[in-house]
Amino acid sequence: MIAVGLIIWVLMGLLTPGTPEGVVNYVGSSAPGQPVNLTIQTVGSMGVGDRPTWVSYLARTPQGQWVHDTTWQLPANTLINVTVYQYDSGSPLRNQQYGQVTGTIGNSETVNGKTIHAFNSYDGAGVGHTFTVPALGISVPLLGSPAANLCGVAPCQPKWPHNLIHFSFKTPAKTGEYHWQCFVPCAAGWLYGNGGPMSTQGFMGGFLDVVQQ
């Protein structure tokens, strides 16, 4: 009896998987068909954990908790309203092409209330990071903060200097895992800036796990 129960329990676990560890689930955070809010932040150094000097993205769960996960489960064919707290500095882009906003609603973003379609990364504090989903044609430059006293311990709070960035995009109707990454080689101290956090899942890249709601 106990063995049968164990087998059924294991089978049910396999057949009805929940949200895997390391995935932030936004499905169900809004009514079906309604826009979903995705709030993320970038920080120049985690300040905590095994790799305190590494740059990273963080995401805020629908329950309001900041977590260090870069795979986000989103409903298909749904408008996603993204808010980015950009706490990092910037520099010129390796390829200025990523200074152009593409794939978002209106091919634009707002940075501290100002609408931007393209940004010269040689201006101001440059570009800190990008949010780019190649398969969906989405690329958004996240302008660097010019402040000197930047937050160095994640999760950062809005009292620290930051750029507040908004943009929206629509998830595809086709479900699947869509790779996203930052296209600023921002891993300071690594060859070509592309090692370390740029080459480790969970820091400067991840997946949009698009599923049916």
By the criterion CB under 8 A, which residues form the site for other proteins? 90-97, 99-100, 102, 107, 117-118, 120-122, 126, 132, 134-135, 137, 139, 179, 181, 183-189, 192-194, 198-201, 205
State which residue, 97 or 157, has the beta carbon closest to other proteins.
97
Smallest gap from Cβ 142 to other proteins, in A, equals 12
Contact 124, 143 (CB under 8 A): yes
DSSP code per residue over 133-194: EGGGTEEEEEEPP--SS---SSSP-TTS--EEEEEEEE--SS-EEEEEE--S---TTSGGG-
Distance CA 6, CA 40 (A): 40
State which residue, 30 or 130, has the beta carbon closest to other proteins.
130
Smallest gap from Cβ 177 to other proteins, in A, equals 9
Smallest gap from Cβ 190 to other proteins, in A, equals 8
State which residue, 166 or 179, has the beta carbon closest to other proteins.
179
Count the alpha carbons within 13 Å of 183 in the hemisphere toward its beta carbon: 21
